[in-house]
Amino acid sequence: MSTPKPQAPRPRRRGFSDRSLAWFFVGPSVLLLLAINIFPLVWNIYLSFTNYAANRPGTPVRGMGTRNYERLLSQEDVWESLQHTAHFVTWSIALQVLLGFGLAWLLSRKFRGSGLWTTLIVLPMMLSPAVVGTFWTYLFQPQIGIFNAIVGLFTGTTEFSMIANPNLAPWAIVLVDTWMWTPFIMLICLAGLNSVPRDLYEAAEIDGASSWRQFWTVTLPMVLPFLMLAVLFRGIENFKMFDMVNELTSGGPGSVTELANIYLKREAFEKWRTGYAAALAVILFVTVFGFANIYVKVWNAVKQR
Amino acid sequence: MAEVRLENITKDFGRVRALEGLSFHIEDGEFFVLLGPTGAGKTTTLRTVAGLERPAAGRVLLGGEDATGWSPAQRDVAFVFQQYSLYPHLTVFENLAFPLRAPGKKLGAREIRRRVEEVAAKLRIESKLDNKATALSGGEMQRVSLGRALVREPACFLMDEPLSSLDAKLREGLRVELKHLQVELGATILYVTHDQVEAMTLADRVGVLVGGHLQQVGPPEEVYEYPDNLEVAQQMGHLPLNLFPVEEEAVRARGIDRIGVRAEHLRVLPEEQAGPDDLRAEVLRVERLGAEEVAFLRVGNRRLYAMGEEHGRFPDAGEVAVRVETDDSLAFDPSGRRLDRDPGGRGEAPPGGESPADAARRMARGLRD
């Protein structure tokens, strides 16, 4: 029987420890994220305090303090573009919620061919927004556009242009966005409606609840979390709207459809006031971030009910 | 409360006939249990009474009036669902008050509160009234679900396996409470279950439904002891019925095709006490359940089930003697119909022949050989 040797320090295992292996896997994405998300953000914030202009690379960059922001917030154009954005976001989402929920409600009553209808209705969502913007300019064309022809069928007049008339153009972009994105709200509402157990309706029916009351006490509370999520997505997207509207109206006529992002693009890449545009970008970012955060808090409260 | 009457109800789902010419009635204040295996049409029957399904033919009468074309709300029946079906975003109070707020009811807020609190007290959920329905335990949820039915004071209660998703202890507790409540309120209840213990303990009368046909209706003890046919005999009783095929010509000539013996009527004796008529069986397994024991036996290639109430009655392994000695054995003809169906004739030999027990004993002899 030999005496046990004094315990040698346990040899280090070969290869990676769990932790370093984790870093090894996550590292590349973290680096990528830093390079294409975090760095541009920080750089943008820095630029917003300068008079940097991207088309004049050689000129010395001066710090401007908060003067970019001061100018922005006192600029009539900026407030107007934000008002256009608010108009666009509010109306497009209101319409999409109404139509999307309505369509989902109809499609949730599984009828013959409801699957086919769902597929057909969802099609616009699959197109590229820029393509949608471009071909709707043809649909809106006063002489040969089908839109005017259809309106003419009902009202007898085709003497108007959706996108050249300053009164109608803001509604044109709402219309096209609604056409394109109603299916998105519909899909999510459909998922919500399908998640309501059948027997709840039966219980309510036996309890003598009218269809109206069933809707308010069973359907709506159960679909609301889904609907709110869809509205959050659409709200953020439409606040950032650029491509479709840029193709359709480019902000015109005049500036009646000049959304915040289109105004920003003009300042940054047409007037080349990069620092000034960067400051607007920061303001837009903070706004959408703030709204989204408040909204998510409300959403969580609704979900918990 | 009102009596419920079903007349010749037939119901199809596509090509499948779920119910065929179903007729029975439930008296005012009666606890009627519909027992049957999965897919027998029990829930369909219940939903037809509730008005959630329209029968293809036949009539539903509530309190003597033809209610076949009425909507569920018009029928004034209460339904207790297996999966509770509480309104998840409402409080317990609001769930209980929900049916009272139906347009036809026209009750004041004070009256609603009084009735909800009364029912909550009866079901011992007063302290939960302000909780969300989803924040309750299963037993509490099913209490609320019962409460939602009770609070309406409906014409009758329809219950679709209300206890089956609860654990065993809770189920027993709630079962006792339910029976107590029914007696206290004099409620008319149509209760659907596949659990024969619930049928035996709750029912004033039980109806056995198999394959869309009502096989037999009667007080549970009677249906248990004098099943009309093999299917009923197999539904009642929680251990499978021991079935012996009859091969002896003399017995077969009297129309007896099979003999059924319930597990508790199969006597198991130590091998050394075996008589000449007894079977020799091998003990495969014994389940000791505390108050009772169940033995799984084998004779030849046939399985037998025996149940006893004393400890250590069955040896864990080895050979035992099995005796069919009671007069409670059941004789069936080739179509599965039970012979000697006179409930008064317990233990008496049918005129002009031997009793089923005699036949069973002789048949057992045949099995052994």
DSSP lists the bridge partners of residue B305 as B296
CA distances from B17 to A295, B34, B37, B41, B230 (A): 52, 18, 16, 9, 22
Is residue A298 assigned to a domain? yes
Rounded CA separation B258/B96 (Å): 52
* Domain hosting residue A160, numbered range: 75-304
The band of B340, judged by pLDDT with boundaries at 50, 70 and 90, is low
- Predicted confidence at residue A110, as pLDDT, reads 79
Is residue A162 assigned to a domain? yes
- Among A196, A201, A202, A207, pick the best mutation site for testing chain B contact (most B Cβ within 10 A): A207
Of A199, A200, A208, the CB nearest to B102: A208
DSSP lists the bridge partners of residue B323 as B267
Is residue A11 assigned to a domain? no
Is residue A296 assigned to a domain? yes
The band of B314, judged by pLDDT with boundaries at 50, 70 and 90, is confident
| Chains A & B: contacts with CB separation below 8 Å | 57
The answer to whether residues A62 and A50 touch, using CB atoms and an 8 Å cutoff, is yes
Of B52, B83, B103, the CB nearest to A208: B103
Chain A CB contacts of B149 below 8 Å = none
Contact B132 A305 (CB under 8 A): yes
Tell me the residues of chain B between 341 and 360 that have a Cβ less than 8 Å away from chain A.
none
User: If you average pLDDT over residues B308-325, what whole number do you get?
Assistant: 75
The band of B368, judged by pLDDT with boundaries at 50, 70 and 90, is very low
- Predicted confidence at residue A126, as pLDDT, reads 93
Give me the count of residues in chain B: 369
The band of B23, judged by pLDDT with boundaries at 50, 70 and 90, is very high
Side chain identity, residue A191: A
Closest-CA residue in chain A for B85? A200
Tell me the residues of chain B between 14 and 43 that have a Cβ less than 8 Å away from chain A.
none
Compute CA A258 distance to the chain's CA centroid, rounded to the nearest angstrom: 17
User: If you average pLDDT over residues B268-290, what whole number do you get?
Assistant: 81
**Between residues B178 and B252, the one the model is more confident about:** B178
**Three-point CA angle B89, B90, B96, nearest 5°:** 145
The closest of A153, A154, A175 to A163, measured between CA atoms, is A175
What is the SS3 assignment for chain A?
CCCCCCCCCCCCCCCCCHHHHHHHHHHHHHHHHHHHHHHHHHHHHHHCCECCCCCCCCCCCCECCCHHHHHHHHCHHHHHHHHHHHHHHHHHHHHHHHHHHHHHHHHHCCCCCHHHHHHHHHHHHHCCHHHHHHHHHHHCCCCCCHHHHHHHHHHCCCCCCCCCCCCCHHHHHHHHHHHHHHHHHHHHHHHHHHCCCHHHHHHHHHCCCCHHHHHHHHHHHHHHHHHHHHHHHHHHHHHCCCHHHHHHCCCCCCCCCCCHHHHHHHHHHCCCCHHHHHHHHHHHHHHHHHHHHHHHHHHHHHHHC
The band of B352, judged by pLDDT with boundaries at 50, 70 and 90, is very low
H/E element, B224: helix B220-225
Angle between helices A169-194 and A76-108 (to 10 degrees): 40
The band of A54, judged by pLDDT with boundaries at 50, 70 and 90, is confident
CATH number, domain containing residue A262:
1.10.3720.10
Is residue A170 assigned to a domain? yes
In angstroms, the separation between the Cα of residue A227 and the nearest Cα of chain B is 16
The answer to whether residues A132 and A125 touch, using CB atoms and an 8 Å cutoff, is no
Rounded CA separation B344/B323 (Å): 25
In angstroms, the separation between the Cα of residue A225 and the nearest Cα of chain B is 12
- Predicted confidence at residue A64, as pLDDT, reads 83
The band of B31, judged by pLDDT with boundaries at 50, 70 and 90, is very high
Whether omega before A57 lies within 30 degrees of 0, making that bond cis, reads: no
User: If you average pLDDT over residues A241-252, what whole number do you get?
Assistant: 90
Q: What is the mean pLDDT of chain B?
A: 84
pLDDT at B63 over 80: yes
Rounded CA separation A113/A187 (Å): 16
- Predicted confidence at residue A182, as pLDDT, reads 96
A196 token code pair: 């309501």
pLDDT at B312 over 80: no
Rounded CA separation A27/A25 (Å): 6
Number of domains in chain A: 1
Q: Is A27 exposed, middle or buried (0-12, 13-18, 19+ CB in 10 A)?
A: exposed
Residue tagged 């917030």 (tokens):
A73
Contact B87 A208 (CB under 8 A): no
The band of A159, judged by pLDDT with boundaries at 50, 70 and 90, is confident
Q: What is the dihedral of CA A169, A174, A178, A181, to 10 degrees?
A: 110
Contact B72 A221 (CB under 8 A): no
Tell me the residues of chain A between 181 and 240 that have a Cβ less than 8 Å away from chain B.
197, 199-200, 202-210, 217-218, 221-222
What domains can be seen in chain B, in order of their start residue?
4-230 (3.40.50.300), 239-368 (2.40.50.140)
- Predicted confidence at residue A43, as pLDDT, reads 93
H/E element, B96: helix B92-97
The closest of B247, B203, B251 to B223, measured between CA atoms, is B203
Phi, then psi, of B92 in degrees rounded to 5: -60, -45
**Three-point CA angle A20, A25, A27, nearest 5°:** 85
> CB count, 10 Å around CB of B282?
14
Is residue A67 assigned to a domain? no
Closest-CA residue in chain A for B145? A203
- Sort residue A60 into left (φ over 0), alpha (ψ -120 to 50) or beta: beta
Chain A CB contacts of B154 below 8 Å = none
The band of A264, judged by pLDDT with boundaries at 50, 70 and 90, is very high
pLDDT at B346 over 60: no
- Predicted confidence at residue A26, as pLDDT, reads 94
How, if at all, do strands B156-160 and B189-193 pair? parallel
- Among B98, B107, B144, pick the best mutation site for testing chain A contact (most A Cβ within 10 A): B98
pLDDT per residue as tens digits for the range B205-264: 999 999 888 999 999 999 998 888 898 998 888 788 888 887 777 777 778 888 888 888
The band of B308, judged by pLDDT with boundaries at 50, 70 and 90, is confident
- Predicted confidence at residue B343, as pLDDT, reads 41
The band of B60, judged by pLDDT with boundaries at 50, 70 and 90, is very high
Rounded CA separation A111/B37 (Å): 32
Q: What is the mean pLDDT of chain A?
A: 89
Contact B102 A202 (CB under 8 A): no
Contact B87 A202 (CB under 8 A): no
Of B72, B88, B90, the CB nearest to A205: B72
Closest-CA residue in chain B for A225? B89
- Predicted confidence at residue A79, as pLDDT, reads 92
**3-state SS class at B217:** strand
Phi, then psi, of B276 in degrees rounded to 5: -65, -25
Is residue A192 assigned to a domain? yes
Using the Cβ of B72 and the Cβ atoms of chain A, whether some distance falls under 8 Å is answered with yes
- Predicted confidence at residue B349, as pLDDT, reads 42
Using the Cβ of B104 and the Cβ atoms of chain A, whether some distance falls under 8 Å is answered with yes
Side chain identity, residue B145: S
Using the Cβ of B135 and the Cβ atoms of chain A, whether some distance falls under 8 Å is answered with no
- Predicted confidence at residue B280, as pLDDT, reads 83
Contact A205 B52 (CB under 8 A): yes
Rounded CA separation B112/B98 (Å): 10
User: If you average pLDDT over residues B4-19, what whole number do you get?
Assistant: 89
pLDDT at B294 over 60: yes
pLDDT at B175 over 50: yes
Using the Cβ of B98 and the Cβ atoms of chain A, whether some distance falls under 8 Å is answered with yes
Rounded CA separation B96/B78 (Å): 12
pLDDT at B369 over 50: no
pLDDT at B350 over 80: no
Interface confidence (ipTM) of the complex:
0.77
B115 token code pair: 């009735």
Strand arrangement, sheet containing B205-210: B77-80, B156-160, B189-193, B31-35, B205-210, B213-218
Contact B85 A217 (CB under 8 A): no
Is residue A5 assigned to a domain? no
- Predicted confidence at residue B341, as pLDDT, reads 40
Q: Is A290 exposed, middle or buried (0-12, 13-18, 19+ CB in 10 A)?
A: exposed
CA distances from A82 to A47, A73, A163, A251, A283 (A): 22, 11, 20, 13, 11
pLDDT per residue as tens digits for the range A162-178: 888 889 999 999 999 99
**Three-point CA angle B307, B313, B317, nearest 5°:** 90
Chain B CB contacts of A223 below 8 Å = none
How, if at all, do strands B205-210 and B31-35 pair? parallel
A280 token code pair: 């607007």
pLDDT per residue as tens digits for the range A280-303: 999 999 999 999 999 999 999 888
Of B78, B88, B90, the CB nearest to A206: B78
Of A200, A208, A209, the CB nearest to B85: A200
Using the Cβ of A121 and the Cβ atoms of chain B, whether some distance falls under 8 Å is answered with no
**3-state SS class at B267:** strand
Strand arrangement, sheet containing B57-62: B16-26, B4-13, B57-62, B65-66
pLDDT per residue as tens digits for the range A182-239: 999 999 999 999 999 988 999 999 988 888 999 998 999 999 999 999 999 999 999 9
The closest of A275, A263, A260, A240 to A43, measured between CA atoms, is A275
